[in-house]
Structure 1
């Protein structure tokens, strides 16, 4: 995690959860062995290309085929108008369409969702939720729950040195922005039955699973128990949705220009190269501290997330109706269960660090969808504490209400000490405007479906195609 006050633990509670499978400096990191980063050459090429461990598309299983049919079936919703694909649009990398901060759903389509819509891509390696040692590159975090008790110093974390922060106890893993589900099977039931989203009713969904075109194969797969128990049939349907997301490579294609560059099949443009260096420079963007961009030792491509959680203090979004209630706060991790604001107080205000893959195609950012462009996001990262009046409103006393969407009791959890959040008023920002634009240019190389550019690709190799 980047900075926040975290508490050390006096004991660990070990559990078990099954996983079905959100800098320009030129800092030298050219060490390709063991998953380390490799700086691009002056011409934008990769001087130490890697062989990536990529899965090829196999025919979908019968269960996954059922899940695909369910994914596009609006009859599963209470209104009969919304399917999973209504929020998670395939052509937009299974993310939302438009600039609306949240989805308008419910039975009549006029209920406001609680949070912005995340992408469903690149969840195949998501570990279960835990609170434990900080390991920025692990996809298989031990399912450990560390119980925080007393305060202690928090070691800083940077893109080039994660060893110093390994002793930190941090929330990590899980699905949704607060980590409340451990598997895609569990996750599927959330939006389907949420009255503000698909607003499905269990009995009506189960009836649909018995009459739809895909009912027969699902019934066969559910067997005798499925014919006797509607709850079991529903569980099998949710499992089918999970299998579809795991088996279909469109949910995790690794087909961006960056992936081609990793394999030596593409060259960065000058501004993309500059952005990559800034992204990794611990004194500049420091983005890779949380959005890990190195290839693992086993050849698995980077997910651009460390699966952890951050309290970045995004401004309250006045466009959302529920924020008009002054007592309303969405505090992320500590709201994932009743009593969490006391039990998990050191993590209140923290939300999942999303993957940055395909981020350039999004139009809503942060848990409340308060920003609508990467330019806005980069400005906030760099200028939050230097120009707070640019992002936060003024109160009746004329003073800027900084961190206005996190109660004062939890503002100690906010990241204030790691670049680019380590600047004080009057100091120069970690990134100037041109450097912020360069990072955005690099982020655009993370969009899947890159088909090659004759002016940048190495003519001796064939660029990776969109599957």
Structure 2
């Protein structure tokens, strides 16, 4: 750099003698040092802010740091189910789904407990719905959402399906192989083989139905739901309904002579309705739009997404899978597996007034074929979290009614159980009080956030929980229009 001949550099400070020269020299040095200090401090602030902000920035899929604007830096194309006019069978199924005349009370249809306005879940915030012949009987469990079941496989026991392409071995063989193992670990994938086997698939909280058709049949004869005394009574209602002509046309005249076949075919139609109608699998949430690059998440939502996926913190994605499949299928936010969580007993339920009654999921009492497989006692199906923010009851016994309560349970169950469970007369905390003590070892204590011990710092702060809930609200369907 060329400077004028009279320019003064730090090494060329005035050389004259006397107080004025010394003062000028000191003043110049102080000024230069001050400027350099300001530059260093400014750089430190910028670098520090960047590091802190990056630490708080959520990752989307994997470990990528996302766009600071909230956009997905790596958008994908989601492969949604094709949209086509409903088949004749699905149209019939839609009519049957919404018809209360098939119930003993004449007031309850499938849609009564599976409201389209609430993502085909309960229409209210009651722990369980009312039904029975006079609509006064309390249901056994909260009605699960019927949305996003189109990819649900039949119930099976085997390795995590994401880790193997082999067909599952028969249920009896696998159940026998793991008998005596008290907790069938999820996602273990390591020896010994028996604990690595996990229950997965199926319908209802305990997986006892194999298809949507089987699930539709169940409530028809449940004494606290549609309350028909038997299948023959349902068949009689169908024979005298306006649908019988369409049923004969679709399934043949032989159905009218076989009550079991008649009901089975009618429920097949309901299953087709649930499979074909896009309303059951809309994939129209803000998160779907964000995955495809059509929406931006707020910084709060992005932080919630990061925590949701963090294996050492909330670890929600350990069971509620948040990533599209390798071939572009949208995430269902469930691994369709079963878990014993040890949620507290809902003492408001009538059946729980009996201290000897326990709902133990896979091993009973409503499912009877696996009663001897006690390593699964307390395990229930992991539901989808899509539209969970608009749901008013959670878990198999409806003990919680908002996401804050649910998150507090996950966060405090092990570290501060006194805040989750009741106490006995002596003040002892009754942990896992909705499961017989001999099955307590089935409850998950290995996966975060349940890997914390009593007195440990919880995995999440209140701010973390608020961020996660903010993210979960992005899973509600109906966010604008998703571009195709």
| Same fold flag (TM > 0.5) | yes
1:303 aligns with 2:332: yes
- Cα pair 1:135 1:166 within 8 Å, conserved: no
2:358 and 2:75 map into 1 onto residues whose CA distance is 46
- For residue 456 of structure 1, what is the aligned residue in structure 2? none
Change (3 A) 1:323 1:140: farther
- For residue 251 of structure 2, what is the aligned residue in structure 1? 222
1:130 aligns with 2:130: no
Match of 1:118 among 135, 138, 144: 144
- For residue 74 of structure 1, what is the aligned residue in structure 2? 100
Cα drift, residue 137 of structure 1:
7.7
- Relative contact order higher in (CA < 8 Å, ≥ 6 apart): 1
- Cα pair 2:103 2:227 within 8 Å, conserved: yes
1:334 is paired with a residue of what secondary structure?
Answer: coil
- Cα pair 1:25 1:284 within 8 Å, conserved: no
Change (3 A) 1:25 1:436: farther
Cα drift, residue 275 of structure 1:
0.2
Cα drift, residue 402 of structure 1:
0.8
- For residue 199 of structure 2, what is the aligned residue in structure 1? 171
Alignment length, in residue pairs? Answer: 423
1:199 aligns with 2:199: no
2:81 and 2:118 map into 1 onto residues whose CA distance is 22
Cα drift, residue 397 of structure 1:
1.8
Cα drift, residue 37 of structure 1:
7.2
- For residue 89 of structure 1, what is the aligned residue in structure 2? 115
User: What CA deviation, in whole Å up to 9, does each residue of 1:180-217 have, x standing for no partner?
Assistant: 01100111111121010111243332223223232211
Change (3 A) 1:264 1:165: farther
- Cα pair 2:182 2:442 within 8 Å, conserved: no
- For residue 378 of structure 2, what is the aligned residue in structure 1? 349
Match of 2:216 among 178, 188, 195: 188
- Cα pair 2:59 2:66 within 8 Å, conserved: no
Cα drift, residue 164 of structure 1:
5.9
1:98 aligns with 2:124: yes
Question: What are the ranges of 5 or more consecutive residues in structure 1 without an aligned counterpart?
Answer: 1-23, 452-462
- For residue 448 of structure 1, what is the aligned residue in structure 2? 477
Cα drift, residue 150 of structure 1:
4.7
User: How do residues 7-18 of structure 1 correspond to structure 2 at under 5 angstroms?
Assistant: none
User: What CA deviation, in whole Å up to 9, does each residue of 1:42-93 have, x standing for no partner?
Assistant: 2211111111111232111111111000011000000000011100011111
Cα drift, residue 26 of structure 1:
6.8
Cα drift, residue 136 of structure 1:
4.8
- Cα pair 1:104 1:197 within 8 Å, conserved: yes
Match of 2:344 among 298, 302, 315: 315
1:338 aligns with 2:368: yes
Match of 1:46 among 72, 75, 78: 72
- For residue 464 of structure 1, what is the aligned residue in structure 2? 482
Structure with more of its chain in helix, by fraction = 2
Structure-2-length-normalised TM-score: 0.82
Change (3 A) 1:26 1:415: farther
- For residue 168 of structure 2, what is the aligned residue in structure 1? 142
Structure-1-length-normalised TM-score: 0.85
Question: What are the ranges of 5 or more consecutive residues in structure 2 without an aligned counterpart?
Answer: 1-53
Cα drift, residue 144 of structure 1:
4.0
1:116 and 1:139 map into 2 onto residues whose CA distance is 34
Q: Which has the larger radius of gyration?
A: 2
1:131 is paired with a residue of what secondary structure?
Answer: strand
- Cα pair 2:129 2:138 within 8 Å, conserved: yes
1:205 is paired with a residue of what secondary structure?
Answer: helix
